Structure 1
């Protein structure tokens, strides 16, 4: 495997807008779009979780007490509380890592979620990139990561490629003197959470990020957490402001660690896997489209010519898709599609066919 290493220009990310996210595809568009651009599970948060959050509002006059939620998260992963840090979403965790952890040569494995690199840049770091290739299925060869990289960031399963890297491969990135950051924001969408490193204490320098945004529909509440060695957790905590996580978010975190919630999340992961297979099977019917497989997350990455024009036609026909060209390692011929239920997928495939046919007719 040949995996290029890239150092972006000093102004930022070259052609890649690291601050562009899927919500920009649906916000302020003046029409009601079916959202395939944002990877939050549809139909969430569930009614029982809304009720728990609403019930917490009566205590807003008191300062947040994160201890019960912290204990619940730690217990869920079989960890002592001192190995867990609650954060205002995974995005805050990336900022804390960039500001609080020492790094002389940070490297981000791309294509992946762009916020880690954006946070590192904002903190004044010069960031190296390891670019995985479509020809290799966006699979990671640990040898491609520079030996002197002292902070490495990788997603698993990776947004936007939907690739699930084997835990044994990621473990090869760990070494003394290196911080290994694994973004597992979508791991609870993988049946059985196979290949998860969250909860492991035997991997040196390991920092794992989790989010409750995707499975539970809490993007507006901002809640996530970090698991790491106690000294790393302490460094990150020292960089946080006082009371960084709100009382409603803490309530949500505690509720989502309960047995019935974990069972519901596991069932959702199984449904997502079935729905994803249906979407991939439909996409395979189009000779114009290349699907990145095997896809293991709650989204699918596709490649097709004139993807930007197709995306605009899809919007005109009522569907929002996520552009791929803002991810380092991808270009204008990539789109990311969130997995939805079978009915929604069938409607989308029909509209996609219309968009492709219309573009072909215009080209004649």
Structure 2
């Protein structure tokens, strides 16, 4: 799992713990508004362009409410959108990017696709597309959904489109990875307010709990964002050293910016099983459209020398 720490930082744990005595009551409207305002201020948007979510995955689960006639999903990519759309019976086409997995002039999205989903940076490749490449996917009558769950791993987030108020654009963000909150389920969408209203249609009352709202308010302050930037800068250094260590084994590593690396490994599944015996978990990639059985996704960790040594012994 690509959470960057084992637990939330102490200051965040303290803020969440301070609300425990209130769990006997329903979430308060003012807590929701405080979280919305924090997200809106962070991205320079009005509050009606913010939708709070129980994790970015909830945003994907809502996509069928947009009633697309045909969807296109850029691959390799996170598998949740295609699963949700397929379950809803929505015709879907994969736009497969060959190595090095970048959007470019030769990439063609079907003209009839009125919903396009793309990750930035993409999971599992870690590739960061430029803002211009993403916006080139827009068309009149088309909805563009950009999954930015990992973009706060990029110092300064230069290619983020979360601050752009454009018709037909929706951006999904997550607190899971940076703040080690996978068990809390907190995220949000920013974008076209009419599209956000359609996504939220039919939602249950109190879709987010008190602790989720507190986390969303806390993690979108200027101080928290500044802390995340410092973490991202440290991640850059660790990722570079880990990638070089893997390349030193003769392995091809995709140039990425995420808290993980995509590595081409001969007989990858056998490598994965041997690593498991050594209590090292890596992600198989043959389940991603556009990748075969010769890839593994490995998390970027300070303990990366242990991974490199284990792989060296197996190779």
- 1:250 maps to 213
Runs of at least 5 residues in structure 2 that lack an aligned partner in the other structure: none
State the distance in 2 between where 1:147 and 1:49 align: 45
State the distance in 2 between where 1:166 and 1:339 align: 23
1:110 aligns with 2:75: yes
- 1:23 maps to none
- 1:9 maps to none
- 2:170 maps to 207
Secondary structure at the counterpart of residue 352 of structure 1: helix
1:120 aligns with 2:85: yes
1:272 to 235, 242, 247: 235
> Contact 2:172 / 2:189 at 8 angstroms: preserved in 1?
yes
1:156 aligns with 2:117: no
2:4 to 23, 38, 41: 41
- 1:292 maps to 254
2:290 to 311, 321, 329: 329
State the distance in 2 between where 1:274 and 1:117 align: 33
1:169 aligns with 2:133: yes
- 1:316 maps to 277
Alignment of structure 1 residues 48-63 onto 2, 5 Å: 48-63=11-26
- Per the TM alignment, residue 54 of structure 1 is displaced from its structure 2 partner at its CA by 1.4
Cα deviation 1:25-60 (Å, max 9, x = unaligned): xxxxxxxxxxxxx11102431111111111111111
* Equivalent pairs, count: 311
Runs of 4+ residues over 4 Å off in structure 1: none
State the distance in 1 between where 2:298 and 2:312 align: 15
State the distance in 1 between where 2:157 and 2:132 align: 14
> Contact 2:40 / 2:50 at 8 angstroms: preserved in 1?
yes
State the distance in 2 between where 1:149 and 1:125 align: 11
State the distance in 2 between where 1:85 and 1:239 align: 14
Alignment of structure 1 residues 173-252 onto 2, 5 Å: 173-201=137-165, 203-252=166-215
State the distance in 1 between where 2:102 and 2:220 align: 31
- Per the TM alignment, residue 307 of structure 1 is displaced from its structure 2 partner at its CA by 0.5
1:78 aligns with 2:38: no
TM-score, normalisation: structure 1: 0.84
Runs of at least 5 residues in structure 1 that lack an aligned partner in the other structure: 1-37, 357-364
- Per the TM alignment, residue 242 of structure 1 is displaced from its structure 2 partner at its CA by 1.4
State the distance in 2 between where 1:177 and 1:309 align: 46
Cα deviation 1:307-361 (Å, max 9, x = unaligned): 00001111111210011111111111110011111xx0111111111121xxxxx
1:262 aligns with 2:225: yes
